[in-house]
Amino acid sequence: MSGSQSPKDFFRPLAVGAPTPLMDIPARPSRAIHFFDPSNPKMAAKIPDMVGTVDVLLGNLEDAVKADNKVAAREGLVKIAQDTANLGGQSAPTQLWTRINSLDSPWGLDDLTTLVPAIGDKLDVIMVPKVQGAEDIHYVDRLLAQLEAKAGLERPILVHAILETARGVANVEEICGASPRMQGLSLGPADLAADRRMKTTRVGGGHPGYLVRQDPPRENGVANLEATRATYQQDLWHYTIARMVDACAMHGIYPYYGPFGDISDVVACEDQFRNAFLLGCVGTWSLHPKQIAIANKVFSPSVEDVAHARRVAAAMGDGTGAVMLDGKMEDDASLKQCLVMVELAEQLAAIDPELKKAYDAIEVADV
Ligand SMILES: CC(C)(COP(=O)(O)OP(=O)(O)OC[C@H]1O[C@@H](n2cnc3c(N)ncnc32)[C@H](O)[C@@H]1OP(=O)(O)O)[C@@H](O)C(=O)NCCC(=O)NCCSC(=O)C[C@H](O)C(=O)O
Ligand SMILES: [Mg+2]
C-alpha cells in the first residue's frame, strides 16, 4: 500500500472504469513458467503444441531477446495470443504471461500500451523485471488500470516482480504489499549477482567455491592441517529465496525460483528446483523444453508425501492433540504442513489426469 493511500482505498480501482482489484490471488497451478522468445520463429512454432502440457507459457520481451528484435517479439506475442486456442484467460489450461522490458528501458512503456489493448483479455500475469521498490509497482499499477479501463477489460491483469537488485531484495516486503495486483515474486539470480557484485559468472544454481570444510582431525591434541577433509557445497541463493518466501507468505502471494542456466545439467537443475520447493516456492522458470518435465515433477508433491499427509490427517481426527504414527509424534502443527501438501495435490489432480491417477491409487492402498 502506498504511504498516502488509506486502507479503505487499497481495493478500489485506480482508474474510472478499470476492473475491481481481487481480494485474493487465485492459486492456479504454475509449476513451470516456460519462457519463449516470440520473435524466434522456431520457438513460436512450438507454442500451440505446448498448450496443455505446461502450466504457464511466458512470452519474454526482455533480456535474451536481441535489441533489434524487441518490436518483433512484442508483435509476435500479440499474434500468438490471438491465434492460439486455450492459451490465457481464467479457464484456459495454460496461462499466458509476459515479461516486459524494464521500466527504465526504451521499450517497457510500449510493451504495456501495445499488449493491454491487443491481448489484455488473455494476459494473466505481467512479469516486471528489476523491480527496485514499491514505486515501480505503483507506476505499473496505475498505468495498467488506465489501459484496462480504456480497453474495457473485466478482469485485472496481475503483476509479478523479479527480485534482481540489492535494493529490490532490501525492499521485498513493501514490493509484495504494493498493490492488490501482486501475484508473486521470482528470483533473478543472474542480474542479482551482478548488482551485488558477487564473483560468479553463471545463471542461477550453485558454485563449487561456495563451501564449508570439515574441521581438521586432531592427533595428540594437534590439528592435522595436511589431512584430506571433506567439503560441502552451500546454496548461494538460500538467503534470498527464504526472504522472498516469507515476504510472499506474509502478503498472500506466490514465490518462485527463477532460471537455471546450465540446460545440460538436468540433475543439478532438479536439485536447485527441489530446494526451492522445500523452502516454499510454488514453481520455477523453464528456459528449455526439457526443463518443463523437471519442474512439473519437482513442484508436484510425491505420491509418498501425499499418502503420508493423508494418513496424518486421518489419524489427527478433529485436528487437535498429539498422536504417534510410525514412531513419530504428530500434532496440530505437523497436520497443518500435511494439509499444505494435500491441498496442493488436490489442485494439481484437478488439472493433471496422470497425477490424479497416481494420488487416487495411493489413497486406496495406503491410507
Ligand atoms: C537456451 C537456448 C538458447 C537453447 O536453444 P537451442 O540451442 O536452440 O536448443 P536446442 O537445440 O536444444 O533446442 C531444441 C529445439 O527446441 C526449441 N527450443 C529451445 N528452447 C525453446 C524454448 N524456450 N521454447 C520453445 N522451444 C524451444 C529450439 O528452437 C529447437 O527447435 P527445433 O530446431 O525446431 O527442433 C534456448 O532454449 C533459449 O533461448 N531459451 C530461452 C532463454 C531465455 O528466455 N532466457 C531469459 C530468461 S533467464 C534471465 O533472463 C535471467 C534472469 O532475468 C536473471 O537475472 O537471473
Ligand atoms: Mg534478469
Residue 3 has pLDDT above 90, yes or no: no
Distance 288 CA to ligand 1 centre (A): 5
Atom index in ligand 1 nearest the CA of residue 35 equals: 44
Q: Whose CA is nearest to atom 36 of ligand 1?
A: 288
Cβ neighbours, 10 Å, residue 247? 21
Residue 6, pLDDT score: 84
Residue 153, pLDDT score: 98
Say which residue the cell 488509506 belongs to.
6
Residue 316, pLDDT score: 96
Q: Do 188 and 258 form a contact (C-beta atoms < 8 A)?
A: yes
Residue 347 has pLDDT above 60, yes or no: yes
State how far the Cα of 175 lies from the Cα of 182, in Å rounded to an integer: 8
Q: How many CA atoms lie within 13 A of 144 on its CB side?
A: 31
Beta-sheet strands, E only, within 165-217: 182-187, 211-213
Residue 198 has pLDDT above 70, yes or no: yes
Residue 361, pLDDT score: 94
State how far the Cα of 267 lies from the Cα of 169, in Å rounded to an integer: 28
State how far the Cα of 270 lies from the Cα of 265, in Å rounded to an integer: 9
Residues of the chain with pLDDT > 70, as a percent, come to: 98
Best probe residue, ligand 1, of 284, 288, 290, 291 (max atoms within 8 Å of C-beta): 288
Ligand 1 binding pocket (C-beta < 6 A) is 35-37, 42-43, 46, 60, 63-64, 164, 188-191, 203, 258-259, 263, 287-289
**Average of per-residue pLDDT across 231-245:** 97
Q: How many CA atoms lie within 13 A of 17 on its CB side?
A: 8
| Complex-level ipTM | 0.99
Residue 365, pLDDT score: 47
**Average of per-residue pLDDT across 281-309:** 98
State how far the Cα of 77 lies from the Cα of 115, in Å rounded to an integer: 8
The DSSP bridge pattern shows strands 182-187 and 254-256 to be: parallel
Give residues whose Cβ lies within 5 Å of ion ligand 2: 164, 188, 191
State how far the Cα of 15 lies from the Cα of 193, in Å rounded to an integer: 37
Atom index in ligand 1 nearest the CA of residue 34 equals: 23
Q: Do 213 and 223 form a contact (C-beta atoms < 8 A)?
A: no
Q: Whose CA is nearest to atom 12 of ligand 1?
A: 288
**Average of per-residue pLDDT across 82-106:** 97
* CA proximity to 29, closest of 252, 247, 352, 280: 352
